[in-house]
């Protein structure tokens, strides 16, 4: 299975509408090169652009949904379209969208762990409650978002639900880039699963982004890692590797708690 992670630069000078069109073009250009495309967290607005969340909030089936459904269909790929600021029932959520190659929504995930402590996303957004997995043709993927990466119990829950790979869109700050790489490898090793973690590039709302999107295999080896700027990472995933790793080193079977 060929996967492409598109590490988008989120530049406050680029209007959201233009970025949507540009990202849709980038997804379409993966036609024939990828089976699965992954985008970052909140790339339309910027994960730290808190003051724009309300203005850029959209219903689940809003402009990003429409543009990304069409891009998935045109590219003929499974698309994790990153996340949007979703407006629903008077609240905002950080919601990820996953589309099939027919452009059908096959999964949506509301971020469970909101970042910011007593500020920002943590107070502006409501918390998701449900774990989400999606069955791709050869691989069951579990979905998590950015700060979720720090909470291993969420990933164990996804493994219990059948996940063999984790798709993690993010808007991770450059200041904690070391944690990002370390935690991505840790989640892969402890769960014997692929980690596909796609971050943003650039600086928005005064927060320099780490970039450095990363793909880690079930043994913890880094298959590919981006630099700090906008970039597309292309990797080949082997679903058999998950089975083989779990059989040859069956640590998951020794869980007690
Ligand atoms: O945990 C971190 O260091 C970054 C998390 C974050 O930026 C987010 O969830 O938006």
Asked if residue 226 lies in contact with residue 236, where contact means CB atoms within 8 angstroms, the answer is no
* Residue 254 CB contacts under 8 Å (≥ 6 apart), including other chains: none
pLDDT in the model for residue 16: 97
Which one is catalytic: 41, 56, 58, 121? 41
* Residue 182 CB contacts under 8 Å (≥ 6 apart), including other chains: none
ipTM of the complex: 0.96
Residue-wise pLDDT tens for the chain (257 aa)? 999 999 999 999 999 999 999 999 999 999 999 999 999 999 999 999 999 999 999 999 999 999 999 999 999 999 999 999 999 999 999 999 999 999 999 999 999 999 999 999 999 999 999 999 999 999 999 999 999 999 999 999 999 999 999 999 999 999 999 999 999 999 999 999 999 999 999 999 999 999 999 999 999 999 999 999 999 999 999 999 999 999 999 999 999 98
Task: Decide the pairing of beta strands 231-236 and 2-7.
Answer: antiparallel
| Overall pTM surpassing 0.80 (yes/no) | yes
**Longest Cα separation, the chain:** 51
- Residue 57: which domain range? 2-254
Asked if residue 74 lies in contact with residue 203, where contact means CB atoms within 8 angstroms, the answer is no
pLDDT in the model for residue 153: 98
* Residue 113 CB contacts under 8 Å (≥ 6 apart), including other chains: 127, 147, 148, 150, 151, 154
Q: State in Å: Cα 33 to ligand 1 middle.
A: 30
pLDDT in the model for residue 253: 95
Q: For a substitution probing ligand 1, which of 45, 47, 84, 85 has the most ligand atoms within 8 Å of its CB?
A: 47
> Domain total for the chain?
1
- Among protein residues, the one whose CA lies closest to atom 9 of ligand 1: 147
CATH code for position 180: 3.60.110.10
């Amino acid at each position: 299975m060929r996967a492409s992670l598109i590490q988008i630069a989120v530049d406050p000078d680029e209007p959201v509408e233009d970025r949507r069109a540009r990202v849709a073009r980038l997804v379409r250009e993966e036609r024939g090169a990828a089976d699965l495309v992954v985008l970052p967290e909140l790339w339309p607005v910027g994960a730290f652009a808190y003051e724009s969340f309300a203005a850029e909030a959209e219903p689940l089936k809003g402009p990003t949904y429409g543009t990304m459904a069409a891009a998935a269909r045109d590219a003929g790929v499974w698309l994790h379209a990153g996340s949007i600021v979703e407006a629903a029932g008077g609240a905002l959520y950080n919601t990820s969208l996953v589309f099939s190659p027919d452009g059908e929504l096959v999964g949506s995930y509301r971020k469970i762990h909101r970042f910011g402590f007593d500020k920002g996303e943590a107070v502006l957004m409501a918390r998701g409650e449900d774990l989400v997995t999606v069955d791709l043709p050869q691989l069951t993927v579990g979905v998590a978002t950015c700060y979720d990466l720090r909470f291993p119990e969420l990933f164990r829950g996804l493994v219990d639900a059948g996940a063999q790979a984790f798709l993690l869109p993010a808007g991770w700050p450059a200041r904690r880039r070391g944690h990002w790489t370390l935690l991505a490898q840790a989640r892969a090793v402890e769960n014997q699963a692929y980690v596909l973690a796609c971050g943003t590039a650039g600086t928005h709302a005064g927060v320099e982004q780490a970039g450095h999107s990363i793909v880690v295999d079930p043994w913890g080896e880094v298959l590919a890692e981006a630099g700090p700027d906008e970039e597309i990472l292309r990797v080949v995933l082997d679903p058999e590797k998950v089975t083989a790793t779990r059989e040859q080193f069956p640590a998951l079977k020794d869980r007690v708690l």
